[in-house]
Amino acid sequence: MEGTNLMRKLSRKVCLLLAGTGLGWAWESPANAASLVDRADIVFADNADMSVELVDYQKKLERQQMRACKEAEREQNRIAREYARAQKRACRDANKACRGGGGGMDWGGWYDTGAGWCGDGYDSMCGMFGDPLDDPWTLSGAIADAMCLDEPCIDVGGWFQFGYTNKSDGVFNTVPHALNLHQAWFYVESAADGSEGFDVGGRIDVVYGIDAQNTQAFGNRPGRWDFENGYDHGEYGWAIPQAYGELAYDAFSVKIGHFYTLQGFEVVGATGNFFYSHLLTMNFMEPFTHTGAVGTYQIDDDTALYGGWVAGWDTGFDRLNGGSAFHGGFSFSPMENMSFIYTTTAGNFGWSGEGYAQSIVVTTQLTDELTSVIGGDLIHTNEGVLGGTTFHGISMYNFLLYSISDRTAVGMRNEWAKFDGTSYQVLTVGLNYKPMANMVIRPEYRYQWCPGAEGATPKNPLGIPVDESILGIDAIITF
């Protein structure tokens, strides 16, 4: 009987050893049993302190293959989405080839990726937040359809922006506790296209609302163009921020007239921004408009040069204090999915004295869904804009924008800015939601503070509310 038990134990250990060597199984033993001989000794030892754990590598291989198949399927789905988006963009570009972009930067280009959670194992996040959007209705398209045209050669459109904030931020959103019409915007544009030879175009924008007075030509003498011309009433007013002609030939084009600045990342037009509120940098360190002539030379798909003459800052066909300055810069893409833009104004700014202002913006598409923007400005003039004898400012900011779907995106914006020796910091988080193709709703939370505004000798040269939590929401309807 004892001999039988010994043979059974021996047989079991022989099978265990064969399993570990011939069938590709692995087992764990003490650290000093590194070699096969050592392992055999342990297997055949009667009183060995060992722990054997068998792992079926066949099953492990099957799991790896399954993961590889799922990864390949996800990659195929991603490629299919990219192809569908490319087709959609090509269709949209073809429809707009004659009439141009119209109305500022389209944030769809930054986060309307069509990718995101839907179809990637997060179907519960779909529905009203994930369903794909149809193409937006446009006034230009309706006019073309009514005239039986394939596409109009003149782009006509605009938007309405309504907003509410619980507190003033001292920048653009300065009328709290009221539903405000920020922008009733209308534009007409014929884009100049020099790809097939000489071409002529132009654009004019008209805006009404509480934002209008911020984008008037306040660098003019009163009564000139749209500045203090008697058409404003209370917080509401009118502005004509752009009225220019454009000439184009091959890779060169030039705007002549009244137009928006090249500097900075954020713009006045609501459709060109992710957030409802604005950077301090944009409002206090950058011009809004110019009058003059500025050319663009497109060296290749990745590089462009800008340069020309302007009659100072924020002017509308006028030259206050002999304003005369260079305005230009360059842009290039050092690598795929990254762009670098440098712009500057140097000379006599008119209302804000003589000096220089510079802006840098670096935009990186980190993933299909995630976009990073890092930028900053530097300005110095000999005019005491904020009450001193000179004006000096420096800033840095960054955005992180994440696309969940065609309809939904979330974003974060952080800014540090220093004006005449006093630092300000602003943090903003927000959501963009499109219930339909022609509407976006943008709730946000903003906190701004100024350490220098506290203490025995507080300093707040901008005169804005500080140490404030601000809630705001707006809606933009395009046409």
Task: Tell me whether residue 195 is exposed, middle or buried, using C-beta atoms within 10 angstroms of its C-beta: 0 to 12, 13 to 18, 19 or more.
Answer: exposed
Per-residue pLDDT of 398-433, as tens digits, reads: 999 999 999 999 999 999 999 999 999 999 999 999
Task: Tell me whether residue 258 is exposed, middle or buried, using C-beta atoms within 10 angstroms of its C-beta: 0 to 12, 13 to 18, 19 or more.
Answer: buried
Collapsing DSSP to helix, strand or coil, 172 comes out as coil
| Least confident span in 3-17, 285-299, 342-356, 393-407 | 3-17
Give residue 387's identity as a one-letter amino acid code. Answer: G
pLDDT category of residue 385 using cuts at 50, 70 and 90: confident
Show the beta-strand stretches assigned E in 235-317. Answer: 237-249, 252-260, 289-300, 303-310
CA distances to 154, 155, 473 from 151, rounded to whole Å, are 9, 9, 35
Q: Which CATH superfamily is domain 97-478 in?
A: Porin (2.40.160.10)
Q: What letter does residue 321 receive in the DSSP assignment?
A: G
Q: Rounded mean pLDDT of 74-100? A: 57
pLDDT category of residue 364 using cuts at 50, 70 and 90: very high
Per-residue pLDDT of 90-145, as tens digits, reads: 554 444 443 333 333 344 434 443 444 444 444 444 455 557 788 899 998 888 88
The pTM (predicted TM-score) of the whole model is 0.74
Q: Which residues of 140-161 are buried (b: 16+ CB within 10 A; e: fewer)?
A: bbeebeeeeeeebebbbbbbbb
Q: Domain ranges for the chain, please list them.
A: 2-82, 97-478
Average pLDDT over the chain reads 83
Phi and psi dihedrals of 93, rounded to 5?
A: -65, -40
Q: Which residue has the higher pLDDT, 110 or 56?
A: 56
| Least confident span in 161-165, 258-262, 388-392 | 388-392
Per-residue pLDDT of 299-332, as tens digits, reads: 999 999 999 999 999 999 999 999 999 999 999 9
Task: Tell me whether residue 304 is exposed, middle or buried, using C-beta atoms within 10 angstroms of its C-beta: 0 to 12, 13 to 18, 19 or more.
Answer: middle
Predicted pLDDT of residue 1:
52
Q: Rounded mean pLDDT of 11-17? A: 49
The answer to whether the beta carbons of residues 311 and 292 sit under 8 Å apart is yes
CA distances to 112, 393, 420 from 384, rounded to whole Å, are 43, 12, 10
The answer to whether the beta carbons of residues 431 and 410 sit under 8 Å apart is yes
Side-chain-side CA neighbours of residue 75 (13 Å): 6
Report which secondary-structure segment, H or E, holds 82.
helix 57-96
Q: Rounded mean pLDDT of 454-465? A: 88
Share of the chain above pLDDT 90, in %: 65
Whether the per-residue pLDDT at 190 is higher than 90: the answer is: yes
Predicted pLDDT of residue 37:
47
Report which secondary-structure segment, H or E, holds 69.
helix 57-96
